[in-house]
Homo-oligomer: A and B are copies of this chain.
Amino acid sequence: MNVEEIIKTETKIPLKSRSIIHLFLVHNKVNDHLAKVLKPFEVSLQQFNVLRILRGRKGKPANLSTLNERMINKMSNTTRLVDKLLVKGYVDRAVCPSNRRKVEITITTEGEKVLRKMDRIIKHAEEELVHNFSSKELEQLNLLLHKF
């Protein structure tokens, strides 16, 4: 993935800008690919992440704020995201009895079922995406990303 070639510029880009453009290009590639493999399930990457978070809570319900905290893309409208999962039957939503301002969101067994299917596909996609990397290189990448 050569940056200059992809964005079709003849001029050499300064290192700092180049790094950031490179980051965007790679993110787009990864994002597009993951979105594509989730397409058959008719869920977005965001929705998939919400389901994963809910499963990670092992039955303990999550309210919207905690959900938001754990999400990769902090977004303001988690309400509508959960709505989508609700109509698909993948999550339940109930008013929290101890604090009626809050809502309690849990994953349904149906949600867990499709999530297991998605897991396999996503795992495979991730492996494809990083197939050029050795473990050592991935460790190195994480160290560098950590500097941002």
Q: Which residues of B contact A20 (CB under 8 A)?
A: 30, 34, 126, 129-130
Q: Mark A133-148, 1 if CB is under 8 A from B, else 0.
A: 1010111111011111
Copies in the complex: 2
Q: Which residue in chain B gives the minimum CB-CB distance to A19?
A: B138
Contact of A130 among B3, B19, B72, B135 (CB under 8 A): B19
Q: Is A76 an interface residue (CB 8 A)?
A: no
Among A61-89, those with CB < 8 Å from B are 69-74
Contact indicator A30/B26 (Cβ below 8 Å)? no
Contact of A148 among B15, B30, B123, B148 (CB under 8 A): B30
With A9-B70, A56-B9, A145-B1: A27-B16 Cβ-Cβ less than 8 Å: no
